[in-house]
Amino acid sequence: MENKILTTNFHTHTTRCNHAVGEDRQYVEAAIKGGLKVLGFSDHSPYFFSGDYYSTFRMKREQVPGYVDSILALKKEYKDDIEIKLGFETEYYPKYFDKLLEFYSQYPIDYIIMGQHFVLNEEEHIYSGELHHEEDMMMRYVDQVIEGLETGCFTYLAHPDLLNFGGSKENYEKAADKLCAYAAKNKVPLEINMLGMREHRHYPNFEFFKIAARHNCDIILGCDAHEPKGVCDLESAKTALEWCRELGLNRIEYPELKKPCRK
Quote the pLDDT of residue 127. 84
pLDDT along the chain (263 residues), means of 10: 89 98 99 98 94 84 98 99 99 94 97 96 85 95 98 98 96 98 99 97 98 98 98 96 98 96 69
Quote the pLDDT of residue 263. 61
Quote the pLDDT of residue 122. 82
* Helix (H) or strand (E) segment spanning residue 100: helix 97-104
Candidates 3.40.50.2300, 3.20.20.140, 3.30.420.10, 2.40.50.100; CATH matching 8-251: 3.20.20.140
- pTM to 2 decimals? 0.96
Alpha-carbon Rg for the chain, nearest whole angstrom, is: 17
Quote the pLDDT of residue 119. 94
What is the number of other CB atoms lying within 10 angstroms of the CB of residue 228? 22
Quote the pLDDT of residue 101. 97
What is the C-alpha to C-alpha distance for residues 73 and 76, in angstroms, rounded to an integer?
5
The residue extents of the domains of the chain are 8-251
What is the C-alpha to C-alpha distance for residues 163 and 154, in angstroms, rounded to an integer?
19
What is the C-alpha to C-alpha distance for residues 98 and 59, in angstroms, rounded to an integer?
18
Quote the pLDDT of residue 4. 85
